[in-house]
Structure 1
Amino acid sequence: MKAQLSDEKLYNELMESAKRVGMIAEQESVEADDNATVSKNVADAIVEGGLNRLIMPKEYGFPQIDFNTFADIVRTVGYHNLSAAWLTYFYALHNSWVAFLPKHRMDEIYDDGGLLADIFAPMGKVEKVEGGFILNGRWNFVSGVNYSEWISVGATYYAEGTEVPDRIGLCMRVSDLEVIENWDSLGLRGSGSNTVAAKDLFVPDDMVISFNEMMMNRKPYKPQIDEDYLYYNVSFFPAFYVGFPAMAIGAAERAIEEFIARTKKRQRFDGTNEGESPKSQRVAAEMTLKLKSAKGLMKEYIEMLESDQGQYDPAEYNGIRVHIIKNCLDIANRAVATLGASALAKGQPLEMILRDLMAISTHVTSLYEDGIDNYGKSLFGVQSMAMG
């Protein structure tokens, strides 16, 4: 039975820490856009609030939170700044794959206290050698690598005598890799999602995780982990992706608030106040209902995670998640398109929210057409490619 966070004081402290991270990032949002990374101030605030260490087994001294609390933390940061929410989510989340390493490696990484990055696209080339692998490759979109101490990168491995490949994650210090600062995107610019490269790097066997085993076992399978650990006996990838729709909801909440506040101040050429216009009132109502729909689906998604014993098709999670994110993107797009050109001023909240939600919607796990296609197949009993 997983822990359910019932400590109201602790919950409020976590939300205050999340709010602080978001507000610092919002104050520095234009600078982060220019620099293609949040500042160290944001990374330090995540660490000072302990938000990066929440997804750890309890023996390492941190409370066992639930999925609602995790989603609320990410949503709270996302209300203020989506790049900061992206990193807050990832820096906490990436501790989950550390729990799949042997105990001595968990101790090494967790006790070090450094931030973690990952990129699980199987772009690496590996050669099996005695005691480990020789790794070569180049991986793009490594969010938060600028401030990370540890990283896991993806590769495909064909074990001898097997026809089905295993997707593996190879873990190492960031200093073992070359970091190429080339992040220059439309949205989520503050995520600092640069490229890393490995050349003839030896990675020992005890720093390698198997995604096939993670999906099959549904729990950390090497060390003994308490059953109230958040990622114990869950559908790993749907649980891994829980933060994407959560942060989108936070941004959509802010977009509606910005729309209503700006509309109340908007004067038409004929002198009428747009806040009194049935047109804008209807737009606000429709956006709010779309947000309520997104929140309802988010609630269902978490309820599925908490009750999942393998009965849910990963494609269902995929379909729900992409629909939430599309709802939130639609809200931001509608707000900007209704307000007009003034909403496009560079660096103001609605303009940044729209760009950042567009970037979230292009993440491989958030692609709407792929997610709906996967879910549609599952409804007809057709196997899809969805991992969650």
Structure 2
Amino acid sequence: MTRPIENIEAIADQIRDQGPEAEDLGRLPDETAKKLKASGVMKLLAPAQYGGLEAHPREFAETVMKAASLDGATGWVCGIVGVHPWQMAFADPKVQEEVWGEDDNTWIASPYAPTGIARPVEGGYIFNGRWQFSSGTDHCDWIFLGAMLGTPEGDMALPPTMLHMILPRSDYTIVEDSWNVVGLKGTGSKDIIVKDAFVPSYRVMNGDHVIDGTAQAEAGMTSTLFKMPWSSMFPLGITSAVIGIAEGALACHLDYQRDRVGAQGVAVKDDPYNLFAIGEAAADINAARQELLANVDRIFDMVEAGKEITFADRAAGRRTQIRAAWRAVMAVDQIYARSGGNALRMDKPLQRFWRDVHAGLNHAIHVPSTPYHASALASMGLEVPDNLRSMI
């Protein structure tokens, strides 16, 4: 059996060539989604019960990087949509069967930002809200949506409780023309609206318990993969995509510079300043790749050995993820600034990789402020306030 990364490599030319079409459409073309489904990339983290591969998270990250190095939007959708089966694996078995019973390659969208209110009623919740950034959503038939628990009157309940609501495609609306952006245009990360949907209780997960690992324990998960911390798994596909896009930018830059003569009339191959920048950027992008993979290896090995993953461990992991993304993007900036004016032309793929890698850095998971702050405090054995613990 060929692995998904090998299947991605087999269709590399098609993924690379469809990039401009994805940008024009504002989503992945149907043919691209069809090929990705056939590749098995979205089954890497799915449970074996539903045909999943239960792969090591490293393999998932490497596969996302490969796809993103060919086309940023394709890799991004693989990273975002590809992580959702990991969470569905410890959802209620009844909703797992609804999602995968007839088609175990059904795709699930998100986002998790709690911009909806779930009002409790008999048997479940009445759900309302609007969300941004639902990547790959046109090709998904189910969705995870973040919510805050409401009161019977529809106000937010106190103390705040975050929920993850699971809805079929019939219960939400995708807002067309809501994804007009400068980068990652081909991801189709459109807005979602839910109005007065009834969500039965078995389709609802306590978001706080997903993040702190309680949900996995309560579901009786025994596989190392499904006992991994949320803060290691959820950001992994996102950061992997950013690093893969950086690798794609480097490849385009090398191809572009190979025969280029600079404005001073010196061939790039004879320009020590340009060659230094290429060497430094390549080293930084590789360092970003290696530290991200080593980071997830370390956490996986700790979980497999039965060791407790402390808040300090999780915070250090998030610090590493974020710094890897920033290091890769900064390296891309160094080579793009030395690519000459023609690299700005829209028929040159380098400009798309440059735009996409910056768009990926804008994801909330890559904001360094509070995770860096929290990891510094935790590394000194000091108390970390609740407001610094978000997404860790």
On whether the aligned pair clears a TM of 0.5, the verdict is: yes
SS of 1:310 mapped into structure 2: coil
Are the aligned partners of 2:149 and 2:163 in contact in 1 as well (CA < 8 Å)? yes
Deviations 1:212-259 (A, max 9, x none): 22234456345554x23622x221232121112222222222322322
What is the 5 A alignment of 1:147-158?
147-157=139-149
2:349 partner letter: P
Task: Output one character per residue of 1:29-86: Cα deviation in whole Å (capped at 9) or x when no partner.
Answer: 1121111111011111111112222222222233221011111110110110111011
Contact kept, 8 Å, 1:319 with 1:374, in 2: the verdict is no
Give distance in 2, aligned partners of 1:340 and 1:374.
41
Contact 1:117-1:152 within 8 A present in 2 as well = yes
Question: Whole-Å Cα distance in 1 between the matches of residues 145 and 84 of structure 2?
Answer: 12
Deviates more, 1:116-125 or 1:214-223: 214-223
* 1:185 aligned residue: 181
SS in 2 for 1:78: helix
- Select which of 206, 212, 216 maps to 1:220: 216
Work out whether 1:143 is the aligned partner of 2:135: yes
Task: Write the deviation string for residues 301-326 of structure 1: whole angstroms up to 9, x where unpaired.
Answer: 11232114323523222211111111
User: Does 1:168 pair with 2:158?
Assistant: no
Partner Cα separation in structure 2 for residue 138 and residue 252 of structure 1: 32
Structure 2 partner of 1:7? none
**1:24 and 2:23 aligned:** no
For the residue of structure 1 that corresponds to 2:364, the secondary structure is coil
Among 200, 208, 211, the residue aligned to 2:207 = 211
Superposition RMSD in Å: 2.2
Contact 1:263 1:280 in 2 (8 A): no
- Give the fraction of aligned pairs with identical amino acids, expressed as a percent: 21
In 1, Cα distance between equivalents of 2:345 and 2:135: 26
Q: Which amino acid aligns with 2:309?
A: G
| Residue in structure 2 matching 1:230, options 225, 231, 256 | 225
The normalised TM-score by structure 2 is: 0.89
Counterpart AA for 1:17: N
Amino acid at match of 1:173: P
* Cα displacement (A) at 1:25: 3.0
Aligned residue in 2 for 1:385: 389
Please give the secondary structure, in 1, of the residue aligned with 2:110: strand
* Residue in structure 2 matched with residue 14 of structure 1 by the alignment: 4
Q: Does the CA-based 8 Å contact 2:262-2:340 persist in structure 1?
A: no
Q: Letter of the aligned partner of 2:4 in structure 1?
A: L
Name which of structure 1's ranges 151-160 and 243-252 shifts more when overlaid on structure 2: 151-160
Change (3 A) 1:101 1:270: closer
Bigger Cα displacement from structure 2, 208-217 vs 197-206? 208-217
Q: Distance in 1 between matches of 2:193 and 2:158?
A: 28
Give secondary structure in 1 for the equivalent of 2:186: helix
- How much has 1:158 moved relative to structure 2? 5.7
Change (3 A) 1:291 1:109: same
Which residue of the partner structure matches residue 328 of structure 1? 328
Partner of residue 264 from structure 1, selected from 258, 269, 289? 258
Write the deviation string for residues 175-200 of structure 1: whole angstroms up to 9, x where unpaired.
Answer: 21121111111111111011111111
> What displacement does 1:100 show?
2.8
Please report how far the alpha carbon of residue 16 of structure 1 lies from its aligned counterpart in structure 2 after TM superposition: 2.0
AA of the residue aligned to 1:176: D
Deviation, structure 1 residue 345: 1.3
Answer yes or no: is the 8 Å Cα contact 2:91–2:219 preserved in 1. yes
Checking the alignment, whether the CA contact within 8 Å between 1:22 and 1:84 is kept in structure 2 is no
Query: Among residues 9, 30, 44, which one is paired with 1:54 in the alignment?
Result: 44
CA distance in 2, matches of 1:204, 1:93: 23
CA distance in 2, matches of 1:163, 1:351: 47
Q: CA deviation at 1:347?
A: 4.2
Superposed CA offset, 1:272-306 (max 9, x none) = 31211110111012112212321231133112321
The answer for unaligned runs of 5 or more in structure 2 is: none
Other-structure match for 1:310: 309
Q: CA separation of 1:206/1:284 partners in 2, compared to 1, >3 Å: closer, same or farther?
A: same
d(CA) in 1 for partners of 2:317, 2:117? 30
| 1:353-386 C-alpha deviation (Å, 9 max, x unpaired) | 1111111111000123444334334334241233
Q: What TM-score comes out, normalization by structure 1 length?
A: 0.90
Tell me if the contact between 1:214 and 1:236 (Cα under 8 Å) persists in the aligned partners: yes
1:252 to 2:242 alignment: no
Aligned length: 375
Aligned partner (choices 33, 37, 53) of residue 43 of structure 1: 33
3-state SS of 2:181 partner: coil
Q: Distance in 2 between matches of 1:96 and 1:269?
A: 51
Contact 1:21 1:42 in 2 (8 A): no
SS of the counterpart of 1:119? coil
1:119 aligns with 2:123: no
2: CA distance, partners of 1:370 / 1:357: 22
How do 1:272-287 and structure 2 match up within 5 A?
272-287=266-281
The partner residue of 1:133 within 104, 118, 125 is 125
Residues 217, 324 of structure 1: alpha-carbon distance in 2 compared, 3 angstrom cutoff? closer
In 2: Cα distance, 1:138 partner to 1:20 partner: 38
The SS at the match of 1:120 is coil
C-alpha separation in 1, matches of 2:263 and 2:366: 41
C-alpha separation in 1, matches of 2:3 and 2:297 = 24
Contact 1:315/1:386 (8 A) holds in 2: no
Say if 1:158 and 1:237 are closer, same or farther in 2 by CA, change over 3 A.
farther
